[in-house]
C-alpha cells in the first residue's frame, strides 16, 4: 500500500465515522414496509436510504472533485435515467464509434457501466460484489479520459460544491409523476422481493401513493427535487439542461439535438444528412436496449431483473386510474 492510498483510507474512515454519527441524528421513516431492514432518513430536506446509502452520499459530497469537462446526468429513479445515459454516451462518443450497428459499446455494455454512478457506484457499497462500476474508486477518477460521464440521484441541494461551482454541465431528466410513481412502486416491490423473498409483503400502491404525496420516497419530495433543477436551468441554462421523458419520447430528434448542443457537440449538417441522429435514436431506443443480451443477463440485472429499462408506457390499469383520480382530489382539496 502506498502512502497516498494509506492517507485515502484514513480519510474514508473519518468520513465513515462522521456519516454514522450524522445518521443517528436524522429523522427516519419506513420504506416500502421493510420494517427497519432499510429506512428512509431525511438529510438536507430530502429522503435517502439509511446504512450504506447515506454514507455513500456523504462521502460523495465531501470527496468528489468535478472537472470543467464533466457531464453529469441527474434524476429521480424511474424517470428515464438509463435511456438518457445511452443517448449521452452515444452523442459524446459518436466520433470514436461512428458505426452504431457493429462493435459499439452500447451493444455490449449496460448504460450503467458506460456512465458511471457516483454515490451508489464509485462511492457505493450497497451492491456488495457488484458495487464498484468497472472497478473504479475515488482515487482512480482522474484516470478517466475527458469528458467524464457520471450520474447521480442526489438533489441539487446536496450536490458537492465542486459540481455547483465548476463549469461541468448537468443534464436533469424528469417524468410525469403518475408514471414515475407507478414505475417506482413496481420497481421497489420487485427489488424487495428479490432481496427478502417472495413472501415479503411491501407497501400496496395505495400506501406508496400516500408516501409519494407526503414526499416520503427515495430522493423525494418528487416535486421539490425537480423544481430545484428546473430553477437552475432557468438561471443558468449553460449549466443545467432540463429534459422531460415525455418530450424525449414524442420528439427524440429535437431533444437529441438539444442534448448535443448543450454538451458542445452539435450535429453538423453532414451528420444530419447522413442519418447520424436517426442511427443514434435507433441504437438507444428502449426496444433495442431491452433486447440486448447485456441488459438481460449482465451484472446490473442480476440485482434488479428486467426493471432498469422502462417500457415507455404505463398500462392504464384500475390502480392507475384510481391513482389519477386520487391525485387530482388531493391536489385540489
Q: pLDDT tens digits, residue range 178-229?
A: 999 999 999 999 888 888 888 888 899 999 999 999 999 999 999 999 999 9
Q: How many CB atoms lie within 10 A of CB 165?
A: 9
Predicted local distance difference test score (pLDDT) of residue 300: 46
Report pTM. 0.87
User: In CATH, what number is assigned to the domain containing residue 100?
Assistant: 3.40.50.300
The arithmetic mean of pLDDT across residues 76-94, rounded, is 96
The arithmetic mean of pLDDT across residues 169-173, rounded, is 98
Q: Among the options 52, 153, 186, 225, which is catalytic?
A: 153
Predicted local distance difference test score (pLDDT) of residue 132: 47
Residue 122 lies in a domain: yes
> Going along the chain, which residue ranges are E strands?
28-30, 39-43, 46-49, 71-75, 116-117, 149-152, 169-174, 240-244
Residue 27 lies in a domain: no
Indicate if the pLDDT at residue 127 is higher than 50: no
Higher pLDDT, 233 or 126: 233
Residue 192 lies in a domain: no
Predicted local distance difference test score (pLDDT) of residue 316: 47
**pLDDT tens digit string along 5-15?**
455 566 667 78
Residue 40 lies in a domain: no
Residue 75 lies in a domain: yes
Residue 13 lies in a domain: no
Task: State yes or no: is 153 an active-site residue.
Answer: yes
Residue percentage of the chain with pLDDT more than 70: 80
C-alpha grid cell, residue 15: 468520513
pLDDT bracket for residue 142 (50, 70, 90): confident
Indicate if the pLDDT at residue 136 is higher than 70: no
Domain count, the chain: 1
Predicted local distance difference test score (pLDDT) of residue 23: 87
Q: Are 60 and 119 in contact (CB under 8 A)?
A: yes
Indicate if the pLDDT at residue 315 is higher than 60: no
Contacts of 180 (CB under 8 A, 6+ apart): 76, 78, 79, 174, 222
Q: Are 229 and 172 in contact (CB under 8 A)?
A: yes
Predicted local distance difference test score (pLDDT) of residue 332: 43
Residue 270 lies in a domain: yes
Residue 82 lies in a domain: yes
**pLDDT tens digit string along 318-328?**
555 555 555 54
Q: Provide the β-strand partners of residue 171.
A: 73, 241
Quote the domain boundaries for residue 119. Answer: 59-176+222-332
Amino acid at each position: 500500500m502506498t502512502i497516498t492510498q494509506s492517507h485515502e483510507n484514513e480519510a474514508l474512515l473519518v468520513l465513515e465515522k462522521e456519516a454514522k454519527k450524522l445518521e443517528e441524528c436524522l429523522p427516519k421513516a419506513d420504506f416500502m414496509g421493510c420494517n427497519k431492514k432499510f429506512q428512509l432518513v431525511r438529510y438536507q430536506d430530502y429522503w435517502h436510504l439509511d446504512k450504506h446509502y447515506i454514507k455513500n452520499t456523504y462521502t460523495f459530497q465531501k470527496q468528489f472533485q468535478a472537472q470543467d469537462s464533466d457531464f453529469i446526468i441527474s434524476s429521480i429513479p424511474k424517470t428515464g435515467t438509463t435511456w438518457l445515459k445511452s443517448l449521452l454516451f452515444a452523442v459524446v462518443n459518436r466520433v470514436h464509434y461512428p458505426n452504431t450497428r457493429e462493435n459499439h459499446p452500447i451493444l455490449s455494455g449496460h448504460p450503467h457501466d458506460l456512465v458511471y454512478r457516483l454515490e451508489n457506484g464509485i462511492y457505493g457499497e450497497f451492491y456488495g460484489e457488484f458495487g464498484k462500476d468497472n472497478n473504479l474508486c475515488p482515487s482512480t477518477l482522474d484516470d478517466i479520459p475527458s469528458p467524464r460521464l457520471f450520474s447521480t440521484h442526489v438533489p441539487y441541494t446536496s450536490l458537492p460544491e465542486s459540481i455547483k461551482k465548476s463549469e461541468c454541465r448537468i443534464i436533469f431528466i424528469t417524468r410525469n409523476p403518475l408514471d414515475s410513481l407507478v414505475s417506482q412502486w413496481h420497481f421497489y416491490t420487485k427489488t424487495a422481493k428479490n432481496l427478502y423473498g417472495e413472501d415479503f409483503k411491501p407497501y400496496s400502491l395505495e400506501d406508496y401513493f400516500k408516501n409519494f404525496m407526503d414526499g416520503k420516497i427515495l430522493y423525494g419530495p418528487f416535486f421539490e427535487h425537480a423544481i430545484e433543477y428546473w430553477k437552475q436551468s432557468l438561471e443558468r441554462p449553460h449549466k443545467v439542461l432540463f429534459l422531460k421523458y415525455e418530450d424525449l419520447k414524442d420528439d427524440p430528434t429535437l431533444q437529441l439535438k438539444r442534448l448535443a448542443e448543450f454538451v458542445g457537440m452539435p450535429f453538423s449538417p453532414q451528420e444530419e444528412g447522413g442519418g447520424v441522429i436517426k442511427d443514434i435514436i435507433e441504437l438507444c431506443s428502449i426496444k433495442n436496449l431491452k433486447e440486448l443480451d447485456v441488459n438481460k443477463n449482465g451484472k446490473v440485472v442480476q440485482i434488479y431483473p428486467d426493471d432498469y429499462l422502462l417500457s415507455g408506457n404505463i398500462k392504464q390499469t384500475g390502480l392507475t386510474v384510481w391513482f389519477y383520480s386520487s391525485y387530482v382530489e388531493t391536489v385540489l382539496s
